[in-house]
Amino acid sequence: GAVRAPPCGAGRPWRCVCYGLGRFGTCPNARHQLAFLLLLLQRMEVPPDRCLVFDPAFSELEVAALGELGLRLLPENEVRAAPTQPGPGPWCSPSPAPAPRSPQEGKHRVQDSPTLFYMVHCGKALYNNLLWRNWAPAALSNMVIIGNSFKGMQERVLSRILERDYSYIAKILKGTEEVALPAHPRYTDTFNDTSVHWFPLHKLEQLSAEVWEFLEEPTYQECEDLEIIRKEDEGNGRSPVAVQS
């Protein structure tokens, strides 16, 4: 089907941030996701050098290939994500990689330009961190997320767990517009449970003042199935755990 620019931006130039793409040199699903990203950039008229990409699993050859495509690697690690594949079907595990420096766990701040975050099958904590970093109507209304369905998270995760561990996802649900990507039999495992999310300013402004007053950084102290590696975990040998989302 047609790929259209998400409904925000008002004519301003877009930028893109891609997390958790995976080992596209060895994984067909990751290659399909990369191909779709390149198509999106083309349709949205986003130059490749305005697309920042990061995944700690990338090999040197994959990094070189991304450079040949004109994409830019993030200068520091903003995420160490364990890819998750909701629903049935195989997925490709990343190979171990050296610990990158200065992990920020997906906490990328939206700048002046509207920003598309391409985060297919990333962990819930990554989306939660991204929302926290941009927790203000002006910033949230300036971004679009292509990734795991927020509605699906709401349906699959107990409300008390969602509100405790992923409070920013829980709070933004009423301010979110979401459209699922059309199903395609050839790419069932590649884009299942994937939606386009955006946050219209008029919906955000209808949320209560209390929603915006709480700005505590997520810590995930009680979360048993954390899908990213936190700063404090980097030196203790812990590995990310792939779980059902």
Q: pLDDT tens across 36-77, in order?
A: 999 999 999 999 999 999 888 899 999 999 999 999 998 665
- Predicted TM-score (pTM) of the model is 0.80
Per 3-state DSSP, the chain is made up of helix, strand and coil in percentages (nearest 5) of 35, 15, 50
Backbone angles phi and psi of 22, in degrees to 5: 90, -175
Position 97 scores a pLDDT of 38
Position 62 scores a pLDDT of 95
Q: Which of 47-56, 57-66, 178-187, 201-210 has the lowest mean pLDDT?
A: 178-187
Position 244 scores a pLDDT of 32
- ∠ CA 133-165-55, nearest 5°, is 55
Domain 15-75+102-211: give its CATH code.
3.40.50
Most confident of 68-77, 92-101, 112-121, 226-235: 112-121
**240 near 81, Cβ under 8 Å?**
yes
* The two structure tokens encoding residue 176: 């979110």
pLDDT confidence tier of residue 227, bands split at 50, 70 and 90: low
* The two structure tokens encoding residue 172: 């933004």
Q: What is the mean pLDDT of residues 196-205?
A: 97
The pLDDT of residue 201 is above 90: yes
Output the average pLDDT for the chain.
Answer: 81
Burial class (CB in 10 A: 0-12, 13-18, 19+), 100: middle
Q: Which of 11-15, 20-24, 142-146, 165-169 has the lowest mean pLDDT?
A: 11-15
* The two structure tokens encoding residue 166: 């992923």
Position 197 scores a pLDDT of 97
